[in-house]
């Protein structure tokens, strides 16, 4: 494949990523609603640590940089918390 084709492939992958992020945010919103009804705080450090660990393990399994995966996890966690407010 040439670079044009590879960039088109990346563009399609990016659209899939955005779709998955939208699904994640919708789910986070629903979790936020449940938390409000139950009177549970939005932030849960244990859940955050679990998510970060999951991202780091998944990155290691794919031979990706674990620190970058952690940054991505933290970004998504922050976004999810904002959606839950």
Phi and psi of 44, rounded to 5°? -140, 105
Predicted confidence (pLDDT) per residue in 9-59, tens digit: 999 999 999 999 999 999 999 999 999 999 999 999 999 999 999 999 999
Instruction: Compute the average pLDDT of residues 2-12.
Output: 98
pLDDT at residue 47 in the model: 97
Domains of the chain, residue spans: 43-85
Distance (Å, whole) CA 34 – CA 65: 34
Percentages helix, strand, coil for the chain (3-state, rounded to 5) are 85, 0, 15
What pLDDT does residue 67 have?
A: 98
* pLDDT of amino acid 16: 98
- Residue 85 to residue 82: CA distance in whole angstroms: 5
Q: What is the pLDDT of residue 78?
A: 97
When pLDDT is averaged across residues 54-70 and rounded to a whole number, the result is 98
How far is the C-alpha of 21 from the C-alpha of 13, rounded, in Å? 12
- Taking the model in full, what pTM does it have? 0.92
pLDDT of residue 44: 95
């Amino acid at each position: 494949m040439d670079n044009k084709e590879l960039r088109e492939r990346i563009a399609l992958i990016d659209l899939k990523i955005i779709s998955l992020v939208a699904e994640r945010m919708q789910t986070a919103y629903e979790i936020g609603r449940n938390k409000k009804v139950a009177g549970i705080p939005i932030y849960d450090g244990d859940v955050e640590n679990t998510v970060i660990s999951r991202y780091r393990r998944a990155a290691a399994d794919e031979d990706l940089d674990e620190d970058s995966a952690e940054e991505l996890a933290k970004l998504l966690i922050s976004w999810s918390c904002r959606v839950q407010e």
